[in-house]
Amino acid sequence: MRRPIIAGNWKMNMTREEAENLILDLIPKVVDAECDVVICPPACFLETAGRLIKKTNIRLGCQNVHWADKGAFTGEISAAMLKSLNVEYAIIGHSERRQYFGETDELVNSKVIKALQNGITPIICVGESLDQRRAGETDEWVRSQVRGALKGLSAFEVQSLVIAYEPIWAIGTGVTATSEQAGETIGVIRTAVKELFDEFTADKIRIQYGGSMNPGNAKELMSMPGIDGGLIGGASLKADDFAAVVLYSK
């Protein structure tokens, strides 16, 4: 049995005071969660968030990580720096990073490797555009992204990873893939992992859905046998909404 994981990606939102208030409001609401709960605030609030969630069931994640150990990379943050802040998860290859900052599959792979070397669990994002879906290219596109992200990794390393399927056309648009669409593409991702490694590894890896999951559709999406959680955007910015997703089974 794979334990579900619900992660909140705050993106570039919140002031420090707003972040503190959100976390303090969220803590008692998710104390009885039957899944792993992760929050991924902006980097400047990681230390604050880590302090507030200490001794709770909420885990700390980040939204990005650099591929180098250190060096002249102004504005970047290394995996070792993140680990020193008790970061446990790192979102890698989000479609917005790929679109706005030119991240390639090769760069995503290097970041995944660096996160693993520092004991941080990658949440690897893959997904297609609306044009690609309409052209029938979804399956091959996500397969290629999976192959690129997992290049050079061992089966043991892959078993501990999280992959988030995020159809780009459903991110922040209010449009959600149907549970059947999400389940089918996540099945393609799991099959790709099986082809690269083995059935045991494919059965172990957790795969989230990451396209506008919210309190209204979380239960239906999570009812699909291959969906192991959600990477939540807008709904993670309100404690009640995020808690409702986390507690989808109640």
229-246: pLDDT as tens digits:
999 999 999 999 999 999
Q: Please give the tally of structural domains in the chain.
A: 1
Q: Mean pLDDT over all residues of the chain?
A: 96
Q: Given 94, 96, 103, 128, which residue is catalytic?
A: 94
| pLDDT confidence bin for 249, thresholds 50/70/90 | confident
The secondary structure element, H or E, covering residue 244 is: helix 239-246
pLDDT higher than 80, residue 176? no
Contacts of 149-153 with CB under 8 Å at 24 or more apart are 149/92, 149/93, 149/105, 149/108, 149/109, 149/112, 149/124, 150/109, 150/112, 150/124, 150/193, 150/196, 151/109, 152/109, 152/113, 153/112, 153/113, 153/116
Structural domain for 68, as ranges: 5-246
pLDDT (0 to 100) of residue 212: 85
| pLDDT confidence bin for 93, thresholds 50/70/90 | very high
pLDDT higher than 80, residue 152? yes
Instruction: Check: CB of residue 209 under 8 Å from CB of residue 177.
Output: yes
66 is catalytic: no
186-221: pLDDT as tens digits:
999 999 999 999 999 999 999 999 988 999 999 999
Q: Given 96, 103, 128, 166, which residue is catalytic?
A: 166
Q: How much is the pTM?
A: 0.96
Q: Where residue 56 sits, what CATH number does that domain have? A: 3.20.20.70
| pLDDT confidence bin for 172, thresholds 50/70/90 | confident
123-138: pLDDT as tens digits:
999 999 988 998 999 9
Which DSSP string corresponds to 97-146? HHHHH---HHHHHHHHHHHHHTT-EEEEEE---HHHHHTT-HHHHHHHHH
Average pLDDT over residues 66-83: 98
